[in-house]
């Protein structure tokens, strides 16, 4: 069953994390820029500008998600088989815009639809509240490289790259909507398609949550009995990282779905509840967090599915061995002030030593016998509940 599940996960994530998806295309990857960012001087010389900002297409998707007025207008234009160029206003736009009608009127989907019947581009205010210009000619520098062939899409791509703003191109022949944002390109998918894919990924995430819960219960038992191993810890962190990577693809779907994704959002939040918090506590119990996050981020999905490789990258060895937790994760469940719990953990080397400590030991720490007694009762009760299988 686990192999079946891993196969399904691999298929889904290979689509959404590594290949993105067939309809999403990026002109550059986030690591490197294939096509140089450019600034055009008066003599039309190209100056390469190092990438400084971290642009993400998600920022653009939020502006055009279903339920927004801009998305309504875009879909009306596409359904009517009309073409359009829509640009968000920036001060740098003056270098690439010629002519047009200055309107400076309130933005409504109906107005944008009517103005799109003109040949030129429509310029919207950055806050999307006003239509600033209509029927404008976009004249970005032809020295900016482009992968597009159509006149409209070439102008959109070059304008986005030169001005670092969002440009939306709607194709009248293909009935397609394409976003150009800085050096990124994204073809909007149909809502039904996104919803179906999101539901499929939620099913995978649901199964992963079941496996994760079982692994956490086992780790609880092994920790309170002093039998936790590096393999137990690696299994939990492996499953956590798998869920986090699936979650990232679902988050994008939810943003792109807008108000059509409310049910997906509710179920998604249920499935990932406390995942990242528990993960941080597990890491704090056993590992150096900075090194862990650096190492795990380098693992591709194929290696992540191999527990031996996860074990090796986390602990530096494939051999399984007993390991002692500090106690941060388990004691996070106690009905006891967090600062006092931290003091106790700092006084002992590991969880086993804390469970073996006497009332006198805790009295020395808290300087109060009643507090020490209450703490002992709390950790004793926690241990008993875990051993008899009643998780909090």
Q: What percent of the chain has pLDDT over 90?
A: 74
Average pLDDT, the chain: 86
Give the up-direction half-sphere exposure of residue 75: CA atoms within 13 A in the CB hemisphere.
13
Cβ contact 341:330 at 8 Å: no
Kindly give the interhelix angle for 2-13 and 230-257, rounded to the nearest 10 degrees: 40
To the question of pTM greater than 0.85 for the whole model, the response is no
H or E segment and range at residue 191? helix 191-224
Of 169, 149, 170, the closest CA to residue 159 belongs to 169
Measured CA to CA, the distance from residue 95 to residue 36 in angstroms comes to 19
C-beta neighbour count of 233 within 10 angstroms = 25
CATH of 24-187, picked from 3.40.1700.10, 3.40.50.2300, 3.40.640.10, 3.40.50.300, is: 3.40.1700.10
In the beta sheet, which residues pair with residue 169? 85, 178
H or E segment and range at residue 355? helix 351-356
What is the model's pLDDT at position 91?
A: 72
Inform me whether the pLDDT recorded for 50 exceeds 50: no
What is the model's pLDDT at position 269?
A: 97
Go through 308-317 and write b for each residue having 16 or more CB atoms within 10 A of its CB, e for each that does not.
ebbbbbbbee
Per residue in 322-343, pLDDT tens? 999 999 999 999 988 999 999 9
Q: Which residues contact 33 (CB under 8 A, 6 or more apart)?
A: 51, 183
Query: Read out DSSP for 333-351?
Result: TSSS-HHHHHHHHHHSSSH
The token duo for 8 is: 């399904």
Mean predicted confidence (pLDDT) in 100-126? 94
Of 303, 365, 306, 304, the closest CA to residue 336 belongs to 365
Inform me whether the pLDDT recorded for 48 exceeds 50: no
Per-domain residue ranges for the chain?
A: 24-187, 191-315, 328-387
Of 243, 246, 216, 248, the closest CA to residue 232 belongs to 216
Measured in Å, how far apart are the chain's first and last C-alpha atoms?
A: 27
The token duo for 202 is: 């939620």
What is the model's pLDDT at position 168?
A: 97
Mean predicted confidence (pLDDT) in 76-99? 89
Measured CA to CA, the distance from residue 48 to residue 233 in angstroms comes to 47
Do domains 24-187 and 191-315 share one topology? The answer is no
Inform me whether the pLDDT recorded for 129 exceeds 60: yes
Q: Which CATH architecture has domain 191-315?
A: Up-down Bundle (1.20)
Measured CA to CA, the distance from residue 60 to residue 208 in angstroms comes to 30
Question: What SS3 class is residue 132?
Answer: strand
What is the model's pLDDT at position 16?
A: 52
Measured CA to CA, the distance from residue 243 to residue 278 in angstroms comes to 13
What is the model's pLDDT at position 47?
A: 35
The token duo for 294 is: 């650096």
């Amino acid at each position: 069953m686990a192999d079946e599940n891993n196969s399904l996960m691999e298929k889904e994530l290979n689509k959404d994390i590594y290949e993105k998806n067939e309809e999403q295309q990026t002109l550059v990857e986030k690591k490197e820029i294939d096509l140089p960012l450019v600034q055009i001087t008066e003599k039309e010389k190209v100056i390469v500008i190092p990438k400084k900002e971290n642009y993400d297409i998600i920022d653009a998707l939020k502006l055009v998600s279903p339920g927004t007025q801009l998305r309504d207008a875009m879909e009306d234009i596409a359904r009517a088989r009309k073409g359009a160029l829509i640009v968000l206003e920036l001060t740098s736009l003056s270098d690439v815009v010629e002519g047009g009608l200055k309107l400076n009127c309130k933005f409504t989907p109906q107005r944008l639809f009517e103005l799109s019947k003109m040949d030129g581009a429509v310029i919207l205010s950055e806050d999307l509240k006003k239509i600033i210009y209509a029927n404008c000619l976009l004249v970005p520098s032809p020295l900016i490289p482009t992968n597009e062939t159509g006149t409209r899409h070439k102008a959109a791509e070059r304008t986005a790259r030169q001005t670092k703003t969002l440009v939306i191109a709607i194709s009248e022949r293909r009935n397609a909507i394409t976003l150009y944002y800085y050096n990124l390109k994204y073809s909007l998918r149909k809502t039904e398609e996104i919803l179906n894919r999101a539901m499929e990924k939620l099913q995978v995430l649901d199964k992963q949550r079941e496996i994760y819960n079982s692994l956490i219960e086992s780790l609880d038992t092994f920790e309170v009995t002093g039998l936790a191993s590096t393999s137990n810890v690696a299994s939990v962190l492996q499953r956590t990282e798998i869920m986090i990577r699936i979650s990232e693809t679902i988050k994008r779907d939810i943003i792109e779905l807008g108000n059509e994704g409310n049910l997906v959002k509710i179920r998604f939040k249920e499935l990932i509840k406390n995942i990242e918090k528990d993960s941080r506590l597990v890491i704090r119990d056993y590992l150096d967090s900075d090194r862990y996050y650096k190492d795990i981020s380098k693992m591709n999905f194929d290696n992540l599915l191999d527990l031996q490789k996860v074990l090796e990258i986390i602990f530096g060895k494939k051999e399984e061995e007993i390991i002692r937790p500090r106690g941060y994760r388990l004691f996070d469940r106690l009905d006891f002030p967090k600062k006092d719990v931290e003091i106790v953990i700092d006084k002992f080397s590991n969880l086993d030593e804390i469970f073996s400590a006497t009332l006198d030991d805790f009295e020395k720490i808290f300087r109060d016998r009643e507090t020490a007694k209450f703490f002992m009762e709390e950790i004793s009760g926690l241990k008993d509940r875990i051993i008899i299988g009643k998780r909090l």
